[in-house]
A and B are shown apart, each in its own frame.
Chain A
Amino acid sequence: MKILVCVKRVIDYNVKIRVKSDKTGVEKDNVKMSMNPFDEIAVEEAVKMKENEIAKEIVVVSIGTEACKETIRSGLAMGADRGIHINSDEDLEPLNISKILMKIVENEKPDIVLMGKQAIDDDSNQTGQMLAALSGFSQATFASKVEKVDSFLNVTREIDGGLETLKLSLPCIITTDLRLNEPRYASLPNIMKARQKKIDSIDVSTLGLDLSPRLSVIEVNDPPERKAGIMVKDIDELMEKLTNEAKVI
């Protein structure tokens, strides 16, 4: 079985985000970049499936600037077999990413596509679902457990009311949630091995896709600052404030 894992290079989760002064986006220069944490979980899951002899080959794909190769190498160091880098300097929206990934799916013919449920930079939560629509693969989002049963995959998903388990036929697309696993550290020998592994580079313009944007960002703003709390004297004052000021009662 072959698994395709999609990984995105994003501003590190622990970095304080700063909005650009002209409000066209966020400051990306001189900030730490890492693999999207949900995608890291997807890589870990793929590697586990390989260790459990469910999968034979893991291919990691990333779309973006040259620096994405570093993110791919992170995936290779965790245990993936080879990488594909789609070179593009544009900020691409989820539909366009899905179209590009569809091309890769056509070429690679994976049995399972794994990716994070969303990227922590734009929080779109769309790419997996759009790719499922384009490819016609079965789909399970927000996976917290994946098990192989005969020729199917049982995927447990986190939903509002609790947990739901889906039985998927292959090929399929699974998007991962936080509780699926805890990604491993990369060891030096594995990082060394990763350096020998192949990364194919494809320029996005050679794919023959119409990638013109359908969305335009009007303005990016900081979230409103939270007002400091106040101390109330007693229950009466609390009730008064809740009723008249906060207007929640």
Chain B
Amino acid sequence: MNIKSKPNFNKITNQLTIKEYTFDKKIIHQHCEDWRKKYFGDSELILFPKTVKSLSNIVKECANQKISIVPQGGNTSLVGGSVPRNGKSDIIINLKNLNKIRYLDKFGFSILLESGCILEDIQNLVSKENLTFPISMGSRGSCQIGGNIATNAGGLNVIKYGLLRSNIIGIEAVMSDGGIYSDLKNIKKNNTGYDLKQLLIGSEGTLGIITAANIKLFPSYKDKNVIFASCNKFKNILDLYFFVQNNFSDLLTSFEIINNDAMELVKKYNKDLTKYPERGRYYVLIEISNFLGIDSFKDFIIDKFFNLKITDVSLIFSKSEKENQNLWKFRELIPPSETFEKLCIQHDISLPLDKMENFIHTTTSEIQNLIDNIYFINFGHIGDNNLHFNILSGENTDIEKLNQKKKLITDIIYNNTYRFGGSFSAEHGIGQLKKKEMIKYKTKEEIKLMREIKKSFDPLNIFNPGKIF
């Protein structure tokens, strides 16, 4: 057998100060375990480089020795993308120390910052200047902007600002030979050949290590108002979506659906919520934000709703920020409430809006034929086609049976998603979790092109091997 020679880590650590790396098993262990505690890899060395120059030198040395690298941000990946594999001698490069704000251009509405900046810190910094950062999500306290870019993160405001991709003006990255790719011109129009940064966005650490980015900023809002709808037909949701898009366009910042099982779950585990909206099969949370500084914003919204012709929808309007927050709880408390039940099988999918109802109906009844006494937790940023389709156990569920059927259920969901023209991973990417689905549902041509791109960016396969493909 051909035994791989032991890597010479000295040549790597020589490039760094003592504080920028560690062999400490305990520290490394924390970085080898993913957020959901589903993937445990191992590694002998973790690096925390402070400068792009030293990162570039390290990667050059890794390429020399063919040492594989896992780029890591806040390690909040939900698909096992940010942790090393088992027994493969991957080293981890965590970007947390590469965290300078290089330039905030108030008049150009952009910010140039390094990958290790934590999302929430950026949001706070920017809001002090009365500006808004275009993305936000539940993991904002831990995730880094580099990780966000590497996963083309979505989150709570996609309906308003689009995916992160549409807000990236420029990127700087260290490539697999240690070279520094830099496209940081502070300009929005730049049609000069292939737009290479687009390949790095969403590449999950497999094409290069992102070191900095120039990102769009937006004006901030004066206040927000939440409107909460209950209805019984999916058609009502689409009508409502059409109505708010037409009437509020740019002021619409969220459009989220919640089905009845999800609402009942939240009520069951959050007894402090006492005021409920009227019952329905579906609920919709609409958030409209006052970017125009309108004085009587509630009246402004209500004036528009006077023209609403949709019947069979019952609507409530929040009167204060406290009521906004209370209504948001019905949406935000769904994921934590799921953890109180024994088993939850989660799927983060997306579907064309006009197929969503048919998909939900077909998939639900196919799964009900397999097993009864289970709950269908459907919710999500429907304005961005995103649907969480989770199967949850309850008091009367036969857990053993549900565990046996788990794979079958997931197959039904992904097969139907494919059949209705949707995607088996809306936001969270592929990582290690969805590699099989990647081969199953992507076309041969897509996979072939992706492999060729990977080969040309990273011929030695040192960046995050074993992820995506």
Residues of chain A touching chain B, judged by Cβ–Cβ distance below 8 Å, are 12-15, 30-35, 37, 40, 67, 69-70, 73-74, 77, 182-188, 191-192, 195
Contacts and interface: CB of A to CB of B under 8 A. Distances in A.
A185 B273 CA distance: 13
B320 A35 contact: yes
A245 B325 CA distance: 41
Interface of B: 222-224, 228, 274-275, 277, 293, 295-296, 298-299, 302, 305-306, 308, 314-323, 325
B316 A188 contact: yes
Contact of A12 (B223, B274, B277, B293): B223
A195 B323 CA distance: 21
Interface centre among B277, B295, B302 (most CB of A within 10 A): B302
B275 A184 contact: yes
A106 B369 CA distance: 71
A187 B308 CA distance: 14
Contacts of B275: 182, 184-185
B320 A186 contact: no
Nearest to A70: B296
26 contacts: A13-B320, A13-B321, A14-B322, A30-B222, A31-B222, A33-B223, A34-B321, A35-B319, A37-B320, A40-B319, A70-B296, A70-B298, A74-B298, A74-B319, A183-B319, A185-B228, A185-B317, A185-B319, A185-B323, A186-B316, A186-B319, A187-B316, A188-B314, A188-B317, A191-B317, A195-B306
Nearest to B325: A14
Contacts of A30: 222, 293
Nearest to A36: B320
The 10 closest A-B pairs by CB, nearest first: A32-B223, A14-B321, A34-B320, A185-B316, A188-B315, A70-B296, A12-B321, A30-B222, A186-B317, A70-B299
A174 B274 CA distance: 25
A14 B316 contact: no
Contact of A15 (B308, B314, B316, B321): B321
A186 B319 CA distance: 7
Given A184-B275, A185-B275, A191-B302, A12 B320 contact: yes
B274 A182 contact: yes
Contact of B299 (A31, A32, A73): A73
Contacts of A67: 295-296
Contacts, number: 72
A73 B305 CA distance: 15
A209 B306 CA distance: 40
B311 to A, nearest CB: 11
A39 B6 CA distance: 73
Contacts of A186: 316-317, 319
A15 B322 CA distance: 10
Nearest to A29: B293
Nearest to B229: A188
B299 A34 contact: no
Nearest to B303: A195
Contacts of B296: 67, 69-70
Contacts of B222: 30-32
Contacts of A77: 317
Nearest to B316: A185
Max chain A C-beta neighbours (<10 A), residue from B223, B293, B325: B223
A228 to B, nearest CB: 18
A30 B295 CA distance: 8
Contacts of A37: 320, 322
Contacts of A187: 314-317
A34 B318 CA distance: 10
Contacts of B223: 12, 31-33
Given A12-B223, A32-B222, A191-B302, A185 B314 contact: no
Contacts of A32: 222-224, 321
Nearest to B301: A191
A191 B316 CA distance: 9
Nearest to B225: A32
B292 to A, nearest CB: 11
B317 to A, nearest CB: 5
A188 B223 CA distance: 20
Nearest to A34: B320
A20 B184 CA distance: 38
A234 B306 CA distance: 66
A186 to B, nearest CB: 5
Contact of A14 (B228, B319, B320): B320
